[in-house]
Structure 1
Amino acid sequence: MQSVLLMNLWGARLLGLTFSSPGEFVFRFPPETPLVGGLGLRWYGLLMAIAVLVGLLLTKALAEARHLEKEPGKASERVEILALWLVVSGFLGARLYYVLTHWSEFRDDPLSAFAIWRGGIIIHGGILAGALALYLYCRATGINGWKYADVLTPGLILGQAIGRWGNFFNSEAYGAPIPPDSRWPLRVYIPPQAREPEYSQFEFFHPIFFYESLLNLVLFALLMGMFWRFPKLKDGTWVWTYVVGYSLIRIPYEILRVSAVAYLPGTTIKAAYVASAIGLVLGIGMLIYMYRLRFDPDLEQLAAWLAERAGLELETAAELVQRAWAIQQKHRRADLLDRVTLAMPHFPSALAPHLSLGQRELLMRQLFCRLEGRDPAGEGLAQAT
């Protein structure tokens, strides 16, 4: 098998890096082999499997490092369940997005949309479907979706960096042609049968799969650096940083791309431009909202306050605050007393037998005021001491 990466002096002009695919298959059964003739293991499939495995292992490690569940190992188990949801939904979403943006290829034979072995998936569709699956799972289980989404993003972008090499092995999704007299040092050789008709006279093209893979690794390093150096950033920060970062990466990728381009139906506008523009506006807007406009209480400080006022263990107080915060987010439009009523079953007399029912209710009212960023003085703060 020829080398995946070939270093050569092309045209006796410039020593550069030339990529030349060894073919789509890692191995393939001879055509005459009974039952499996012509079948085999494709590089694209192998890389996707590796990307999923690496992303899963990394996400499990990050979830445990962040102690997303009280019981050791529970967060890792949760990630494994989530991975099944996300991989299946993401794959289906990526395929559906491709079919919708390339409908002319399937109009005459709609059933061919199910022939996934012929290729055709787009990452934007996978991300959207995966986000929807994560939302539904979190709604069903009551877990903090933003915390899990944050630990998923480094594994996602690392998986994208790995999976993008599948385009190289398939000789697809390549960039603009490189003229013979160009001194650009990076190029990919595209065999004649894989070239777009209007570029049939060219042999070498921009290896945009390589460009994006490197930029994805840069974004991965940024997310990991944020994860370890700034662990107290607000929930969702890593998600929106990923959205902004990948949207920026995808714009130059699409500018150079000339192969298998997805357009908005009936237009010459690249679908990825619209997706990236939406991602940039949404991501930047959400980061501004989170850090400039939205009030987020310090739950650790509130747990310490509640532990002192109610005479509770810090861990018990922290759990009460987390439950109250979940109620606050889910029922933020409800009346204060209604939210207190929902929270009181989590604050039974057994936790603080020295406090009366009225004192416990008063503390809950004060807690919800603090969760809203309001001064709880009007709730009779002194009476709870």
Structure 2
Amino acid sequence: MVNQILFPNLGISLTVQESFRVFGFSIYWYAIIIVAGMLLAVLYAVKMFPKKGLEQDDLFNMFLIALPTAIICARAYYVIFSWNDYKNNLWQIFNIRGGGLAIYGGVIGATAVVLLYCTRKKISFAKVLDVLAVGLLIGQAVGRWGNFINAEAFGDPNRPTHLPWAMTILGVAENVHPTFLYESLWNAVGILLLLLYQKKLQKADGELFLTYLAWYGLGRFWIEGLREDSLMLITAPIQIRVSQVLAGLSVLAGIIGIAVLRKKAIQKGAEHVAKGL
């Protein structure tokens, strides 16, 4: 499939193919971009694990169990909240080549199996999460460009925008927010903020992941409100978007968690001072 994507106010017109063929097989750019994001995230983790006193063998073991779990959970999350699109054709549930993966489902699934692994191996779950926080943002920042290729995850056509970067998809939507781009940029800024926070402000293990929850949740809550294809928890009498609920909970969990860790760090520091006296 070919998508014609324009940014009229910028004079940009792009013809984007969703896939290409190699030896008769269709290869989807969406899948390539998602894999590229994962690989960049893993490369970052490979570099950071030794610095946190963690073993790289454990990283690869976690990756091998977290990757399929994340894909299954991301798909399951999407299908559950889009059940009307699949209930009459169940085989389509297994067709993920063209998209239909929900980030929150993947993050929840991957985090759960990493927790189980860390518990069994007696590894610091908080340290692992701090590494994964930056890796997740790397993967998400890159992965959102898969939505661009598929011409999906854009703003609501019923609420057009006339901002300079308004996007038009011929035959689909006109003058909509490029929400895939908003989230990609938000995540890219988040990477820089987390790296700076880690270097200058972090007081306890786990703080970086909690900062990720708060930052990503804040951005996702805002961006989700602009999107046309949100998964809905309730549609009447009011619309409640699933991702906005989770985003709001993420922000609260992040802020409260950081406050708790900071308080413990201050108390621990005071105890050390008292012992020194």
Q: Same fold (TM over 0.5)?
A: yes
Alignment: residue pair count:
271
Q: Residue 232 of structure 2 is aligned with which of 263, 278, 283?
A: 263
* Structure 2: unaligned runs, 5 residues or longer: none
Distance 1:17 1:220, change over 3 A: farther
Match of 2:42 in 1: 56
| Shift, 1:147, TM fit | 0.5
| Shift, 1:252, TM fit | 1.8
Q: Residue 246 of structure 1 is aligned with which of 198, 208, 216?
A: 216
1:284 corresponds to 2:255: yes
Given that residues 138 and 187 in structure 2 are in contact (C-alpha distance below 8 angstroms), is that contact kept between their aligned partners in structure 1?
yes
Match of 1:185 in 2: 164
Given that residues 203 and 262 in structure 2 are in contact (C-alpha distance below 8 angstroms), is that contact kept between their aligned partners in structure 1?
no
The AA in structure 2 aligned to 1:211 is Y
| Shift, 1:187, TM fit | 2.5
Which structure is richer in relative contact order (CA contacts within 8 A, separation 6 or more)? 2
Alignment of 1:14-93 (within 5 A): 14=9, 16=10, 18=12, 20-25=14-19, 27-28=20-21, 36=24, 39-66=25-52, 68-69=53-54, 75-93=55-73
The AA in structure 2 aligned to 1:125 is G
Report the more deviating stretch, 272-281 or 75-84: 75-84
CA distance in structure 1 between the partners assigned to 2:40 and 2:219 by the alignment? 22
1:154 corresponds to 2:123: no
| Shift, 1:251, TM fit | 1.4
Given that residues 174 and 207 in structure 1 are in contact (C-alpha distance below 8 angstroms), is that contact kept between their aligned partners in structure 2?
yes
Q: Residue 165 of structure 1 is aligned with which of 145, 157, 175?
A: 145
| Shift, 1:296, TM fit | 6.5
CA deviation profile, 1:6-28 (whole Å, cap 9, x unmatched): 7x7x4xxx5x2646351211x22
**Greater C-alpha Rg:** 1
Distance 1:19 1:229, change over 3 A: farther
The AA in structure 1 aligned to 2:48 is L
Identity %, equivalent residues: 28
CA distance in structure 1 between the partners assigned to 2:164 and 2:158 by the alignment? 10
Match of 2:90 in 1: 110
Distance 1:17 1:100, change over 3 A: farther
CA deviation profile, 1:238-297 (whole Å, cap 9, x unmatched): 110000000011012111101x22001565311111111111121111112221367774
| Shift, 1:109, TM fit | 2.7
The AA in structure 2 aligned to 1:247 is G
CA distance in structure 1 between the partners assigned to 2:82 and 2:127 by the alignment? 35
CA distance in structure 2 between the partners assigned to 1:289 and 1:52 by the alignment? 31
The AA in structure 1 aligned to 2:230 is V
Alignment of 1:289-368 (within 5 A): 289-292=260-263, 297=268
Q: Residue 206 of structure 1 is aligned with which of 177, 193, 196?
A: 177
Given that residues 179 and 226 in structure 2 are in contact (C-alpha distance below 8 angstroms), is that contact kept between their aligned partners in structure 1?
yes
The AA in structure 1 aligned to 2:231 is A
1:176 corresponds to 2:156: yes
Distance 1:240 1:49, change over 3 A: same
CA distance in structure 2 between the partners assigned to 1:283 and 1:111 by the alignment? 38
CA distance in structure 2 between the partners assigned to 1:47 and 1:278 by the alignment? 29
Q: Secondary structure at the match of 2:166?
A: strand
Given that residues 171 and 191 in structure 1 are in contact (C-alpha distance below 8 angstroms), is that contact kept between their aligned partners in structure 2?
no
The AA in structure 2 aligned to 1:24 is E
Q: Secondary structure at the match of 2:106?
A: helix
CA distance in structure 1 between the partners assigned to 2:265 and 2:242 by the alignment? 32
CA distance in structure 2 between the partners assigned to 1:100 and 1:279 by the alignment? 21
Given that residues 28 and 97 in structure 2 are in contact (C-alpha distance below 8 angstroms), is that contact kept between their aligned partners in structure 1?
no
CA distance in structure 2 between the partners assigned to 1:277 and 1:18 by the alignment? 35
Q: TM-score, normalised by structure 2?
A: 0.87
Distance 1:236 1:19, change over 3 A: farther
